[in-house]
Amino acid sequence: MEKIRIEPTDVSPEVIFDIENNNFSIRGKSVVTEVDSFYTPLIEWLENSQENLTDRVDFVFDLEYFNIFSSKRILFILYKLSDLKIAGADINVIWHFSMEDDDMKEVGEDFACMVNLPFEFISNAMYPELV
């Protein structure tokens, strides 16, 4: 399955969906105005990936900020990951947040309550080299 790699911009996050290297992440900020054109291909890719996800997948969200429009699409991605888990994939969500940003941690906790997925919360202060 072809991997997705999207370079970050001032308004969109870096995205890596790479089954071959078991690397799945969305990092940066997401304030895209055309959320459907950005996120729909990602959701469709996940829909088509079920038979290819044979290893444990740690899906990393390391977002410094996202707008309400992106928030809804991120939730759609989490729902799709939940569907994949229900179908047998071993999915784990790793939600990064800054110690200075309680809101981002709370949003992750809210998402965790909405989907049937294990969430691991990691403060970027624990890993200063990632900041």
pLDDT digits (tens, 9 = 90+) for 14-26: 999 999 999 999 9
Here the CATH number for the domain that contains residue 57 is 3.30.750
pLDDT tens, 57-91? 999 999 999 999 999 999 999 999 999 999 999 99
Instruction: Look up the domain containing 64 and give its range.
Output: 4-130
Burial 11-35 (b: 16+ CB within 10 A, else e): ebbebebebeeeebbbbbbbbbeeb
Q: Which of 97, 93, 92, 91 shows the shortest CA–CA distance to 130?
A: 97
> How many structural domains compose the chain?
1
